[in-house]
Copies of this chain bind each other. A is one copy, B any other.
């Protein structure tokens, strides 16, 4: 079972955790991305995320379904946020339940690694002296 959401409002780690709860589960692994106050030594003021929304949701669903096929896991929740995020706020929460912890860790890492490669979401880092789209240029 998967739960995929793209939200403009604060993500709820508690909601993700609740979705994956399962009486067969022995392990829950949650990954939360958080906005860092600096990148490569430079002060970050905020991040701005945008998405190609229908495709981003479809690609996140593909990742969760692939993880369910590939790992021995029970439930997966992937929530991603768009809009303007301040330091400490949460762009993404990925939560996995499994009978055993190795599968939960492996599936959670697979989901975030793949999300960063394939899901059409873009992050702009805003500094005091300008802003850049992350990874756009070589």
User: Which A residues are within 8 Å of any B CB, using their own CB?
Assistant: 13-14, 17, 21, 23-38, 87-88, 97, 99, 101, 104-105, 108-109, 112
Question: Of the candidates B13, B97, B109, which one forms a contact with A105 in the assembled complex, judged by CB atoms under 8 Å apart?
Answer: B109
Bound CA–CA A35/B97 (angstroms)? 12
Contact B105 A101 (CB under 8 A): no
CA distance A97 to B88 in the complex (A): 12
CB distance B30 to A29 under 8 Å?
Answer: yes
> Are the CB atoms of A25 and B36 closer together than 8 Å?
yes
Partner among B13, B28, B30, B36 whose Cβ is within 8 Å of the Cβ of A24:
B36
Q: In the assembled complex, which residues on chain B have CB atoms less than 8 Å from the CB atom of A35?
A: 26
Which B residues lie within 8 Å of A28 (CB)? 30-32, 34
- Extra contacts, 14 of them, besides A24-B38, A27-B33 (Cβ < 8 A), are A13-B13, A24-B36, A25-B36, A26-B35, A27-B31, A27-B32, A29-B29, A29-B30, A29-B31, A29-B108, A31-B101, A36-B99, A101-B109, A101-B112
Cβ A34 vs Cβ B26 within 8 A: yes
Q: Which residue from chain B places its CB closest to the CB of A109 in the assembled complex?
A: B105
